[in-house]
Structure 1
Amino acid sequence: MRHAIAAALAIAVAVPAVAQIASTPQMPGKPTAKIAAGTYQVDPAHTQVTWTVNHMGFSMLQGQFGASEGSITIDPATLAQTKVDVTFPIDQLSVTSAQFAGHLKSKDFFDVAANPTARFVSTSVTPQGATRAKMTGNLTIKGMTKPVALDVTFVGAGTNPMSKKTNFGFTGTGTIKRSDFGLGYAAPVVSDEVKLMVNAAFTA
């Protein structure tokens, strides 16, 4: 009898938990969702480029850029023909110190008065499985253009419940050198190597 009561109690506890899991709202974006072929605009509110440098061997230092405009032309049937063109407002860079932001915007680094934006234009895409690809392109900063390679991963796609439009996005990682773009101030005290982490969002 005791065993029957214990079993009944266990079931009574488990059923609400299972029901709660089953009723948990699902995110609208799915990594398995299909994207209709077409050209989509970059979503400035949800696109970020985070850069990381080694600061004097003491710490890792990060900053961030958004995106002001751009697009992706994509067809799931011919992913190798994907084209990306995005502009980044360097004059709106984000760091945790206003004084540091001012220095980065000066002629020592980005010289934003003369070069307020940067731009990435893809030149090739090599699919690597269902959700990954190697993307190469030309990155222009301070009027200097250099090739950059990014390892890209598809995050997901779906209908945005607020805008009712198709949204999808990718993450990307890569490495560049500051000196390639005339940003070599304070090297080698601050690393020449810059690690990039890209969160790119697009919308119909």
Structure 2
Amino acid sequence: MKRSALYLAAALALSPVLVATPGLAEGPTTNLADVRSGAFALDPAHAKIIFSTSHFGFSTYYGLFKTFDAKLNFDAKAPAKSTLEVTVQMNSVDTTNPKLDEHLESPDFFDAAKFPTATFKSTKIVVTGAHTGKITGDLTLHGVTKPVTLDATFNGGGENMFKAYVLGFSATTVIKRTEFGIKTYAPAVGDDVKLIISAEFDAVK
């Protein structure tokens, strides 16, 4: 049997399973009228905080934080009334370069021994579209607290294939690290740090 015929046979065999599996065929909805409100906890296995900044203008550094937590109270009827709190462990930085990670955790940059966590607490949410918004909050980093606004997208809510009720979000922002007292090598090593965030939240039972 040719390979194309094998693929077709496999697809036909699996089609009843795919249709019968809740959440796998329909996917999440962005229609807030159909989304559940309440308390949600971060699913750390399906969440990322990625950062990037310029390296002397020649290339871009990329890294992420491996350990963080978040709590969300989501109001589907009035999203602007929702609240978000995030805590990041600063000694969990990962650039795939152990020496660079150690340097970032040192007093030259994060000073993770003195400032072990960074936190974000929302103070205002503005709805900008059917499933977009701006989340403003107080970011405390390196012992300094300043307002930061996330450009957020609601990816949808619904039951996944394991019957867990999930909300999904993406967000981006840019912060100036020198405003938080992290000044080493600036501006040669970029002052502007871009954050890319993706997260799933599970309903708290």
| AA in 2 matched with 1:184 | K
Shift of 1:147: 0.6
2:124 maps to 124
Contact 1:29 1:168 in 2 (8 A): no
Structure 2 SS opposite 1:99? helix
The alpha-carbon deviation at position 134 of structure 1 amounts to: 1.0
Query: Structure 1 residues 117 and 191, CA, compared in 2 at 3 Å: closer, same or farther?
Result: same
Task: Determine helix, strand or coil for the equivalent of 1:86.
Answer: strand
Deviates more, 1:29-38 or 1:184-193: 29-38
CA deviations 1:148-184 (Å, max 9, x no partner) are 111101112222333x321111100111001011111
Instruction: Please state if 1:93 is matched with 2:55.
Output: no
Q: Which has the larger radius of gyration?
A: 1
Report the counterpart of residue 78 of structure 2 in structure 1: 78
| Partners of 2:36 and 2:157 within 8 A in 1 | no
Structure 1 residue 128: Cα displacement? 1.5
SS at match of 1:46: strand
Partners of 1:37 and 1:122 in 2: CA distance: 17
Measured against aligned partners, the alpha-carbon deviations of 1:42-97 in whole angstroms (never above 9, x if no partner) come to 12222211111010011011111145332111111111111000111111111110
CA distance in 2, matches of 1:28, 1:98: 42
Per mean C-alpha deviation after superposition, the further-off stretch among 128-137 and 24-33 is: 24-33
Give the TM-score taking structure 2 as reference length.
Answer: 0.83
**Aligned equivalent of 1:198:** 197
> How many residues end up aligned between the 2 structures?
187
Higher strand content, 1 or 2? 2
Q: In the alignment, what sits opposite 1:23?
A: 15
Matched-pair identity in %:
39
Residues 1:159 and 2:159 aligned together: yes
Residues 122 and 137 of structure 2 are in contact (CA less than 8 Å); yes or no, is this contact kept in structure 1?
yes
Asked if structure 2 preserves the Cα contact closer than 8 Å seen for 1:28 and 1:161, the reply is no
Could you list the runs of 4 or more consecutive aligned residues of structure 1 that deviate by over 6 angstroms after TM superposition? Answer: none
Letter of the 2:91 partner, please give it.
D
Against the structure 1 CA distance between its residues 104 and 28, is the aligned structure 2 distance closer, same or farther, given a 3 Å change threshold?
Answer: farther
Q: Given that residues 42 and 67 in structure 1 are in contact (C-alpha distance below 8 angstroms), is that contact kept between their aligned partners in structure 2?
A: no
Which residue of structure 2 lines up, in the alignment, with residue 169 of structure 1? 168
Cα RMSD between the aligned structures? 2.2
What corresponds to 1:32 in structure 2?
30
Contact kept, 8 Å, 2:44 with 2:68, in 1: the verdict is yes
Secondary structure at 1:45's aligned position in 2? strand
